[in-house]
Amino acid sequence: MESMHAAALAFDLHIPESNSLKAKRAVIKPIIEGLRHRFHVSVAEIEHQDTWQRARIGVAVVASSDGRLRSVIDDVERFVDSAPDVEVLTVDISWIEED
């Protein structure tokens, strides 16, 4: 049986120019949609939904090999880092081990 390789990432983001939830969503939505469509990962805003200048985005990645998993994680991190109007405060990675 083939092994599964998976990880979960959590990005804490600061949106300094946001002055409303609508402005925040305008910044966060393209990041979430871009991650979904470009990398075929599961993504959701997981904290700070009612805070104007903060967001926490969770990303789940599953791959058929460790090398592919690490490649996708690197690409996802670069994508979020390059997003305009957002400062990445922290990135937490949890590796999911198959029993």
Q: What 3-state DSSP class applies to 50? A: coil
Q: What are the residue boundaries of the structural domains of the chain, listed by start? A: 5-96
pLDDT, tens only, 11-38: 999 999 999 999 999 999 999 999 999 9
Identify the CATH class of 5-96: alpha beta
Looking at residue 20, the DSSP 8-state letter turns out to be S
Residue 97's pLDDT is what? Answer: 76
Q: Which residues of the chain have pLDDT under 50?
A: none
Residue 8's pLDDT is what? Answer: 97
Is the Cα torsion angle 71, 46, 50, 25 positive or negative in sign? positive
